[in-house]
Amino acid sequence: MLQLLPQAIVDGILIGGIYITVAIGFSLAYGVMHVIDFAVGEWIMLGAFMGFYLNRWLGLEPILLFPVIFLSFFVVGLWIQPLIHRVLSGRRGNPVLMGLVFTFGLALMIRGIALTVFGFYSHSIPSSLAQGSLFFQVGPIFVTIPLIRLTGLGYAVLVTMGLYYILHRTDFGLAVRALAQHKEAAGLMGVNARRTGGHVYGLYTGISATTGALIGCIFSISAQMGPDYTIFAFFVVVLAGMGYLPGVPWAAFLLGFVQSFFLIYLSPSYTMLAVFAALYLILLISPKGIFGKGV
| Greatest mean pLDDT among 4-13, 101-110, 129-138 | 101-110
18-29: per-residue pLDDT in tens? Answer: 999 999 988 888
Q: Greater confidence, 230 or 294?
A: 230
77-126: per-residue pLDDT in tens? Answer: 999 988 887 877 765 666 677 778 889 999 999 999 999 999 888 999 99
Q: Domain extents for the chain?
A: 2-285
State the pLDDT at residue 91: 59
| Greatest mean pLDDT among 28-42, 105-119, 250-264 | 105-119
* pLDDT range class, residue 278, cuts 50, 70, 90: confident
Q: Greater confidence, 82 or 270?
A: 82
State the pLDDT at residue 92: 61
State the pLDDT at residue 210: 95
* pLDDT range class, residue 295, cuts 50, 70, 90: low
State the pLDDT at residue 277: 80
State the pLDDT at residue 1: 60
146-195: per-residue pLDDT in tens? Answer: 888 999 999 999 999 999 999 999 988 898 888 887 777 777 777 887 88
Say yes or no to pLDDT of 283 above 80: no
40-81: per-residue pLDDT in tens? Answer: 999 999 999 999 999 999 888 889 999 999 999 999 999 998
DSSP per-residue codes, the chain: -GGGHHHHHHHHHHHHHHHHHHHHHHHHHHHHH----TTHHHHHHHHHHHHHHHHHHH---GGGGHHHHHHHHHHHHHHHHHHHHHHHT-SSS-HHHHHHHHHHHHHHHHHHHHHHHH-S--B----GGGG-EEEEEETTEEEEEEHHHHHHHHHHHHHHHHHHHHHHHSHHHHHHHHHHH-HHHHHHTT--HHHHHHHHHHHHHHHHHHHHHHHHHHS-B-TT-HHHHHHHHHHHHHHH-TT-GGGHHHHHHHHHHHHHHHHHHS-GGGHHHHHHHHHHHHHHH-TTTTTT---
